[in-house]
Amino acid sequence: MNRTRDRPVTAADEHAHAWSPQTARARFREGLTGPTAGVAAGHTQANLIAVPADWAYDMLLFCQRNPKPCPVLDVTDAGSPATVLAEGADLRTDLPRYRVWQDGELVDEPTDARAYWRDDLVSFLLGCSFTFEWALARAGVPIRHVEQGRNVPMYVTGRDCRAAGRLRGPMVVSMRPVPPERLGAAIRESSLLPAVHGGPVHCGDPTALGIEDLARPDFGDPVAADDGDIPVFWACGVTPQAAVMASRPPFAITHAPGQMFLTDARDEQYRLVGID
């Protein structure tokens, strides 16, 4: 499942954290690839899945029934590559890398999706946990995969999502090792951002999620934990890709895991207030 091994964008350019989202999208349009954790600090990142219009209701219902892994930020008109989340952006070109699916099989991972785009595609932009990593860092929570220049590790769990029409599949989670003294901060800060997955779905023993080996993620890269770190798991926006593999729609385009769409929205727009 884990086909690409692009270098993280922040490893390729140490100034990527200070980019505007417009600069990030322009760089991706020019061909820069890689996981986007740490890019364009303070701006919301989003997962992408585009499906034919006759599957769009099933996808919308799947997201509504599974809001932790699939928090909807925007849904486009059929065929439109535009989104209200980023003025002038093009969803066909402005992500680092895409995945193209036919009958549930991965057939290509291009950096430009225009050759595959269809007039009947409806795009869903879903919240991404990279968004709340800035809040975690401000609270003193180390972001191990960023420190180590790796993509976040992601795992297919043994927990089934609630089915919706023709769509079904397991929940995917991302994992970040957290020192025990920072666990409360990690839970609190991420819970304040439910539009980008919110608080963890599990802390501790990975076998409770059906994950047998943290060193072998289904997507992304393994990350080294410090002694005493607790594995903390958040619902992940790669979940729709697991649903594509399980449900086998005739066609879909998604982001490559960890290589997200940079929106113009600020993180604060999605942060709950009056909770601190």
What ranges do the domains of the chain cover?
11-128+249-267, 131-235
- Give the pLDDT score at 11: 84
Task: Pinpoint the alpha helices (H) of the chain.
Answer: 9-12, 21-29, 53-65, 133-138, 144-147, 183-191, 239-247
Q: Cβ(109)–Cβ(98) under 8 Å?
A: yes
Local mean pLDDT, 10-residue blocks, the chain (276 residues) = 74 91 98 96 97 98 98 98 98 98 98 98 97 95 96 98 98 98 98 97 98 97 97 98 98 98 95 68
**Tokens 């992500």 -> residue:** 95
What does DSSP assign to residue 263? Answer: E
Q: Cβ(151)–Cβ(220) under 8 Å?
A: yes
**Whether the model pTM is above 0.85:** yes
- Give the pLDDT score at 227: 96
- CATH architecture of the domain covering 131-235: 2-Layer Sandwich (3.30)
- Give the pLDDT score at 16: 95
- Give the pLDDT score at 182: 98
CATH superfamily of 11-128+249-267: PSTPO5379-like (3.40.1640.10)
Half-sphere exposure of 137 (CA within 13 A, CB side): 15
Q: Cβ(83)–Cβ(72) under 8 Å?
A: no
> In angstroms, rounded to a whole number, what is the distance separating the alpha carbons of residues 275 and 273?
5
Check for a shared fold between 11-128+249-267 and 131-235: no
Q: Cβ(189)–Cβ(270) under 8 Å?
A: no
- Give the pLDDT score at 14: 87
- Give the pLDDT score at 1: 46
